[in-house]
Amino acid sequence: MPLLLGIDTGGTYTDAVLFEEGRGLVAHAKALTTRGDLAVGIGQALDAVLRQAGSSPEETARDIGLVSLSTTLATNALVEGQGGRAGLILIGFGERELGRAGLGEALGDAPYLTLDGGHDAAGQAAAPLDLAKLEAALPELQTEVSAFAVAGLFAVRNPSHEHAVKQLILERSGCPVTCSHELSSKLDGPRRALTSLLNARLIGLLHRLIGAAETLLHSQGIDAPLMVVRGDGALIGAEIAKQVPIETILSGPAASLVGARYLTGERDALVSDIGGTTSDIAVLSDGEPRLDERGAQVGGWRTMVEAVAMRTYGLGGDSEVHMTRAGLAGGIALGPRRLVPLSLFAQHHPDIVHRALDRQLAADRPGAQDGRFVASLPSPETERRGLSSSEEALFARILEGPCALDRLFQGPGRGATLDRLVARGLVQLAGLTPSDAAHVLGRQSAWDREAAEKGASLFARQRDARGLPLAPDAESLSQRIIETLVRRSAEVLLDSAFAEEGLAIADPAKDPLVQAALNRNGQLLAPKLGLTRPIIGLGAPAASYYPEVAALLDARPVIPPEAGVANAVGAVVSRVRVSRTATVAQPEEGRFRVHHDAAPRDFAVLGDAIAFAESVTRDAAGAAARASGAADPEVGVKRRDKTAVVEGKEIFIEARITATAVGRPQLAH
């Protein structure tokens, strides 16, 4: 049997596994994700797993028949507010729509344009499309953004205006364009616009990732189809993933659920995948993850992307450590932003890091930027469009080389400018994280422990409201950080469990009964909280923290030996699955209109309209599955009718036809 290669590129690690059906896991390896050049981390993981396979790397490479890639990069980008700068073209919508679904917040200071046009609910043009306004604005717009999103009023009823705008932008600018009807067939224009905007912001990120993977595979002599895991756990072709990167949000977590089921054999469990940036939590019931029909919610955005019903929290091994000012003694908070751990940053820049840390430790007073560093990330010129003069000046300074933040800031107001560069994905920050605390305490040993100790010592010197140091030494502070991570992990697991049970508890961290149950120190009351299902802990840090998390929740921990590569395992055991939808409506008695990916089509008989809708969706789903690399996909069609009873008579309102094609990926051998 051909070997299957699974690669998972996360925020901190890149994992690779070799799998053979009937034999199972053949080899697995791990390397650091290199955000500046993703090809480096992918190449290191690939080299390692090929060497472990038992034969020569060249012979193993020739035996690989399929490559599957899962990634948390799109998820992390949305959680951290990162991505390219995308322009928004609204057709038939007014500026008031920017206040809905978080659209204006997601747009930020990026440019947008409103055009006359759009359609009504029946698919008829509401107004002529004003392409002249777009033609006049494009020369300036294309210099400010790296991609465009297009959303038209009732475009799911008739996508012709979105098609026309996309064609014009492609002809005049060459920038990537995302149309809202390409991502969802559901109504709710503002949320479709939001989804298309987020997709446009992610295009550059996924292009670089997939391009890096393709280059490495070619260099290793691997001639096999490349697939990418979607947010619902299914596979899509790499070229399609480049066009719709939004569909890869929750890709890594979705793959981890598939991997969790395979690696543990558990059919009912609470699955938590803790990475460097996020903790992703979902419920496994009867061996299957539940899909969220409302659309995936990541980083505060409710998208229209169908994905596993998963809750994502900005809590991971590389979460930024903050000092809180609550109460006199102060405290520690984590995330949601990811930092490069000091111990890891020092591996790459030892002289810069240790010289700065020693200088800061020798100072009489702690500084606000102690133990924090910044470095630029390689980026194409298109990703730098739209920078303000202050952003350009600061970015030029950072391009000179990695440096300590206390030497970068010469005056007030630079912190907000730096944050904007981080959000654009142009620079990265390094600082104290739970991973550093784990190095101080001896729980991890992969990176520079001395740098972690110095960073923890600096943070311990920060003063609380009483003017006292936060902790007496690096070890005490590190223990508090780990305890905070364990406690927060338990709280987010409870938050997910409460949500699944439909219990209205807004925030377990603020609920007195929940906190009393976790504290277990009541004198008169001893409330208890527990989980009825085991906790499957996945991710590289899981073994370090999740036995304590499970004990706090009176749950059975299940941490497979391959927990650190579960995403990559899930990537290779997934299948291609593609759905296409059409709607049959009755705009007037005796006329039935089919809305699908092309212009609407009318029929005089309902049965004819249904037959046509089933035919076009069946053909579209099968073609899309084959385009995504499926071999001989099987297509099933489901119909859901909406009716009403008027004066005792049932009246047809609408039918929704969904065709789903499922198939195994086509192998090279």
Write out the two tokens for 428. 């990265």
CB hemisphere CA count around 494 (13 angstroms): 27
Whether residue 37 has pLDDT greater than 90 = no
Q: What is the pLDDT of residue 448?
A: 97
Mark out the alpha helices in 363-448 (DSSP H runs): 389-399, 405-408, 414-423, 434-440
Whether residue 62 has pLDDT greater than 80 = yes
Stated length of the chain: 669
CA angle 370, 83, 40 (to 5 degrees): 75
Q: Dihedrals φ, ψ of 264, to 5°?
A: -105, -25
- Cα torsion 469, 475, 477, 479: sign: negative
Q: What is the pLDDT of residue 328?
A: 54
What are the CA-CA distances from residue 308 to residues 8, 148, 621, 630 (Å)? 18, 27, 20, 21
CA angle 274, 275, 277 (to 5 degrees): 115
Where do we find the tokens 């899309």? 624
Q: What is the pLDDT of residue 227?
A: 92
| Nearest-angstrom CA–CA distance, 46 and 6 | 10
Q: How confident is the prediction for the chain on average, in pLDDT?
A: 88
Q: What is the β-pairing status of strands 591-595 and 601-603?
A: antiparallel
The candidate with the shortest Cα–Cα distance to 579, out of 661, 640, 641, is 661
What are the CA-CA distances from residue 176 to residues 19, 149, 170, 245, 637 (Å)? 35, 9, 7, 12, 32
Write out the two tokens for 465. 């409201």
Whether residue 21 has pLDDT greater than 60 = yes
% pLDDT > 90, the chain = 44
Q: What is the pLDDT of residue 330?
A: 64
**In 3-state terms, the chain is what percent helix, strand and coil (to 5)?**
40, 25, 35
Task: Work out the pLDDT band at 414, boundaries 50, 70, 90.
Answer: low
| Nearest-angstrom CA–CA distance, 210 and 224 | 14
Task: Work out the pLDDT band at 538, boundaries 50, 70, 90.
Answer: very high
| Nearest-angstrom CA–CA distance, 424 and 382 | 12
Write out the two tokens for 487. 């406690």
Q: What is the pLDDT of residue 669?
A: 63
Q: Dihedrals φ, ψ of 653, to 5°?
A: -110, -55
| Nearest-angstrom CA–CA distance, 76 and 86 | 18
> Contact, 648 vs 612, CB < 8 A?
no
pLDDT in tens, 431-484: 999 999 999 999 989 899 999 999 999 999 998 877 888 999 999 999 999 999
Write out the two tokens for 485. 């991570």
Chain centroid, CA 125 distance in Å: 36
User: Mean pLDDT throughout 488-502?
Assistant: 89
Task: Work out the pLDDT band at 213, boundaries 50, 70, 90.
Answer: confident
Buried b / exposed e across 654-663, counting CB within 10 Å, b at 16+?
Answer: ebbbbbbbbb
User: Mean pLDDT throughout 234-257?
Assistant: 86
- What's the 3-state SS for 311-373? EEECCCCCEEEEEECCCCCCEEEEEEEECEEHHHHHHHCHHHHHHHHHHHHHCCCCCCCCCCE
* Amino acid type, 265: G
> Contact, 44 vs 38, CB < 8 A?
no
pTM: 0.72
Where do we find the tokens 């903790």? 279
Cα Rg of the chain (Å, integer) = 26
User: Mean pLDDT throughout 622-649?
Assistant: 89
Q: What is the pLDDT of residue 164?
A: 94
pLDDT in tens, 584-631: 999 888 899 999 888 889 999 999 999 999 999 999 999 999 988 888
DSSP state of 125: B
DSSP state of 441: T
Q: What is the pLDDT of residue 329?
A: 54
| Nearest-angstrom CA–CA distance, 591 and 613 | 15
329 class by beta-carbon count within 10 Å (0-12 exposed, 13-18 middle, 19+ buried): exposed
The candidate with the shortest Cα–Cα distance to 184, out of 643, 658, 537, 619, is 658
pLDDT in tens, 309-333: 888 788 999 999 998 876 555 688 9
Where do we find the tokens 């780990």? 482
Task: Work out the pLDDT band at 168, boundaries 50, 70, 90.
Answer: very high
User: Mean pLDDT throughout 490-496?
Assistant: 91
Write out the two tokens for 333. 């908070």
> For residue 631, how many other CB atoms are within 10 A of its CB?
13
SS3 400: coil
Of the candidate ranges 46-50, 169-173, 285-289, the one whose mean pLDDT is the lowest: 285-289
Whether residue 266 has pLDDT greater than 90 = yes
Task: Work out the pLDDT band at 413, boundaries 50, 70, 90.
Answer: low
Write out the two tokens for 346. 């020092």
| Nearest-angstrom CA–CA distance, 289 and 271 | 10
What are the CA-CA distances from residue 66 to residues 253, 270, 627 (Å)? 21, 30, 15
Task: Work out the pLDDT band at 66, boundaries 50, 70, 90.
Answer: very high
The candidate with the shortest Cα–Cα distance to 376, out of 429, 339, 432, 420, is 429
Write out the two tokens for 1. 């049997």
pLDDT in tens, 504-516: 777 777 788 888 8
